[in-house]
Amino acid sequence: MDPTSQSYAVFFGLAGAASSLILSGAGAAYGTAKACRGIAKISTPNNDTQSFGKEYVELSKTGESNAQQSVGYKNMIPVVISGVLAIYGLIYSVIVSSSVVSPSYSTSQGYANFFGGLAVGFCCLVAGIAVGVCGEAGIVASARNSKMFTLMVLVLVYCEALGLYGLIFSLIANSLAF
Amino acid sequence: MSESGHPFGYEFENFQRLLDIPMDISPYNYAATGTGLAIALSVVGAAWGIFITGASLLGGAVKEPRIRTKNLISVIFCEAVAIYGIILSIIFSGKMEAVSGGFTNADWFSGFAIFNGGLTVGGCNLVCGICVGIVGAACALADAQRPELFVKILVVEIFGSALGLFGVIIGIVMTTQAKFG
């Protein structure tokens, strides 16, 4: 590193990389766990389990075909979309981590990467919460009525776009920093 | 040299001196804090996940003893998160050596990199452990109901455990060039 450069820029840059990965990972974790609750909800018919199963009693009233429906891999779509939100955080972390080691890493780049990391992190965190809640509701709804599947996918795409907006801003800020 | 002794010049002196505060803490402190955070937060995530999964597994196995052995894999996924943390913290603590003379910019870089790398590893393992724990609890109860659901919810669990792996990879990428002395 250049001995006349301000070396605390590295601290801010790497803190942005860290926060982007941790916060987007938290959003992805919430989305994955909530979607799994939805999958378990539509597949357990036993009334003894706490909140699983109450939905299923109503499902079986609509007919044997819905109750016997096997849990296919279509219900993994909210899980995959949550994983994509974690990958948005990973992309930004990799970009920042590889640009921090260059000798011309200025303080302006450090600040831009710090706030970009917070942007990606918080946007993917709230997007993950949205994907989880919509995914759970969508899985339960599409088990009742198979036409609701396309509506679930449409809503999930809107939720994922929120995380993408954060990533777009941070990449633009990263390229505009001098 | 400005009057505070730092070798950088200032344009807005009163405000920019606040940003000298990160440089008043020794880089060994940053590196040690990062090493501690890596192991501590990873183990918190693993413990949280294990008790969430274990409680559901133990309760479900009362009525359905056949789920006992298969669903230990959820507990092992959570434990792997703790193992990532301890491996990374051993790697980071091996990078700390004695420095003769003052700290160079490479030493400051190493301190900041190990701090943020350890924070990344610990934080990602924390959220991964909680996620795998919740999914594993659902897996145990669904397996007790219908045996064919075990594999399907295990796929969700593998997506969840990828989060901890992302943290480990980025922690290693950040600290490859970190070297004291």
pLDDT digits (tens, 9 = 90+) for A105-129: 888 899 999 999 999 999 999 999 9
Q: What is the pLDDT of residues A27-39, one digit of tens each?
A: 999 999 999 999 8
Higher pLDDT, A56 or A22: A22
Q: Which residues contact A177 (CB under 8 A, 6 or more apart)?
A: A106, A108, A109, A111, A112, A113
Confirm if B124 and A86 have CB atoms less than 8 A apart.
Answer: no
Predicted confidence at residue A144, as pLDDT, reads: 82
Residues of B in Cβ contact (< 8 Å) with A86: 162-163, 166
Per DSSP, helices labelled H in chain A are: 9-43, 54-61, 64-67, 77-100, 107-144, 148-176
Predicted confidence at residue B2, as pLDDT, reads: 46
Q: Which residues contact B29 (CB under 8 A, 6 or more apart)?
A: B111
Q: What is the pLDDT of residues B72-86, one digit of tens each?
A: 999 999 999 999 999
Query: Could A71 and B7 be called an inter-chain contact, meaning their C-beta atoms sit closer than 8 Å?
Result: no
Confirm if B174 and A14 have CB atoms less than 8 A apart.
Answer: yes
* Residue environment code for A24-57, b if the CB has 16+ CB neighbours within 10 A, otherwise e: bbbbbbbbbbbbbbbbbbbbbeeeebeebbeebe
For chain A, give the mean pLDDT: 84
* Closest A-chain CA to B135: A33
Among A45-49, A63-67, B121-125, B139-143, the minimum mean pLDDT is found in: A63-67
CA B152 to chain centre: 27
Query: Could A10 and B8 be called an inter-chain contact, meaning their C-beta atoms sit closer than 8 Å?
Result: no
Q: Output B15-22 pairs: Cβ under 8 A, ≥24 positions apart.
A: B19/A6, B19/A8, B20/A8, B22/A8, B22/A11
Residues of chain B with pLDDT under 70: 1-12, 181
**What token pair was written down for B12?**
């807005």
Report the distance separating Cα A132 and Cα A165, nearest Å.
Answer: 18
Q: How many CB atoms lie within 10 A of CB A98?
A: 12
Predicted confidence at residue B5, as pLDDT, reads: 53
Confidence band, pLDDT 50/70/90 cuts, at residue A167: very high
Question: Which of B110, B112, B157 to probe the A interface (max A CBs under 10 A)?
Answer: B112
Extents of the domains making up chain B: 26-94+103-174
Predicted confidence at residue B81, as pLDDT, reads: 96
SS3 label, residue B158: helix
Q: Is the pLDDT of residue A145 over 60?
A: yes
Predicted confidence at residue A63, as pLDDT, reads: 45
* Closest A-chain CA to B167: A21
**Predicted ipTM > 0.90:** no
Q: Tokens 């003769």 appear where?
A: B100
* Closest B-chain CA to A50: B141
Q: Is the pLDDT of residue A53 over 60?
A: no
**What token pair was written down for A26?**
């938290």
Predicted confidence at residue A68, as pLDDT, reads: 42
Query: Could B106 and A1 be called an inter-chain contact, meaning their C-beta atoms sit closer than 8 Å?
Result: yes
Residues of A in Cβ contact (< 8 Å) with B6: none
Q: How many CB atoms lie within 10 A of CB A127?
A: 29
Q: Is B151 on the interface with A (CB under 8 A)?
A: no
Q: Is B103 on the interface with A (CB under 8 A)?
A: no
Report the distance separating Cα B24 and Cα B103, nearest Å.
Answer: 12
Q: A-B interface: how many C-beta pairs under 8 angstroms?
A: 159
CATH, domain range B26-94+103-174: 1.20.120.610
Report the distance separating Cα B138 and Cα B45, nearest Å.
Answer: 18
Predicted confidence at residue A43, as pLDDT, reads: 77
CA A57 to chain centre: 31
Residue A5 φ/ψ, nearest 5 degrees: -80, 160
Q: Is the pLDDT of residue A14 over 70?
A: yes
Domains annotated for chain A, with CATH where assigned, are 3-43+70-176 (1.20.120.610)
Q: Is B55 on the interface with A (CB under 8 A)?
A: no
Predicted confidence at residue B104, as pLDDT, reads: 85
Confirm if A46 and A53 have CB atoms less than 8 A apart.
Answer: yes
Residues of A in Cβ contact (< 8 Å) with B143: none
Q: Is the pLDDT of residue A69 over 70?
A: no
Query: Could B152 and A82 be called an inter-chain contact, meaning their C-beta atoms sit closer than 8 Å?
Result: no
Among A5-19, A25-39, A79-93, the minimum mean pLDDT is found in: A5-19
- When pLDDT is averaged across residues A68-82 and rounded to a whole number, the result is 81
**What token pair was written down for A80?**
């995959």
Per DSSP, helices labelled H in chain B are: 13-16, 27-63, 67-70, 72-93, 105-145, 149-175
Q: Give one word for A63, left, alpha or beta, with left for phi > 0 and alpha for psi -120 to 50.
A: left
CA A3 to chain centre: 40
Predicted confidence at residue A3, as pLDDT, reads: 42
Report the distance separating Cα B114 and Cα B112, nearest Å.
Answer: 6
Query: Could B142 and A29 be called an inter-chain contact, meaning their C-beta atoms sit closer than 8 Å?
Result: no
